[in-house]
Amino acid sequence: MTENGFMDLEENKRPAAFLDRDGVLIQDLGYVYRTDDLHILPGVVEGLRFLHDKGYLLIVISNQSGVARGLFTSEDVDLFHRELQHQILASLGFGLDGIYYCPHHPEGRVPHLAIECNCRKPGLGLLEDAGRDFSIDWSRSFLVGDKDSDVTCAHKASLIGIQVTSGQYEAHCSPDFEISSLADLQNIWSEIERKMIAFGAEPLTSSDVP
């Protein structure tokens, strides 16, 4: 087990970039679920290509309380995510490695989803789900989000928390880094790596990239 409590399997470990969906990958219009409202943000294609070339798993973790609120269904979310994957694959030739979302909210209108849960960020349930599905190098992984709860989730998991500062949501009081788009990761990568190494990660070599 690692310090954050996640299983750290030795064989074929890869670091993961955990990415919030709305406000990081796509425009946040509020409870987005129609594919016509899917607009990939500037810098996302460049940022995903950079992370892919670095050998990172690309894993989306997203709160989708609109399901619990009765605004749309899980089937709507799945359809939306298929379209997101299709557009990313068409642009880059590869897709996201995983998409995990929480459909719950304690004030929801759908009774079986109106619960307190561990998967709604800043809870760690979505990270735990990803950890069961992938062999993740947690020491080199990080989380990118645009909300306070995203950075709090990262810190609870002992991960670097990076906030996209669009001005749409209140900034976290102490994100590890701030960026305006996913493409900005390239500009601060050396700083991110130094912080990872300070946290105990081994320096990355070319042989570590699949």
pLDDT in tens, 115-125: 999 999 999 99
**What does pTM read for this prediction?**
0.91
Per DSSP, which regions of 9-130 are E strands?
Answer: 16-19, 57-63, 98-102
Higher pLDDT, 82 or 206: 82
pLDDT in tens, 32-81: 999 999 999 999 999 999 999 999 999 999 999 999 999 999 999 999 99
pLDDT in tens, 183-197: 999 999 999 999 999
Buried/exposed 75-90: b ≥16 CB within 10 Å, e otherwise: ebbeebbeebeebbee
Q: Is the pLDDT of residue 171 over 70?
A: no
For the chain, give every domain's residue range: 16-200
The residue whose two tokens read 């990761």 is 185
Higher pLDDT, 109 or 206: 109
pLDDT at 209: 52
Mean pLDDT of 156-169: 87
Please state whether beta strands 16-19 and 57-63 pair in parallel, antiparallel, or not at all (unpaired).
parallel
pLDDT at 200: 81
pLDDT at 9: 47
Helix, strand, coil % over all residues of the chain, rounded to 5:
35, 15, 50
What mean pLDDT is reported for the chain?
A: 91
Alpha-carbon span 142 to 86, nearest angstrom: 25
Alpha-carbon span 59 to 82, nearest angstrom: 14
- CA 164 remoteness from chain centre: 12
Q: Give the CATH class of 16-200.
A: alpha beta
- 129: part of which helix (H) or strand (E)? helix 125-133
Name the residue type at position 159: L
The three-class DSSP label of residue 132 is helix
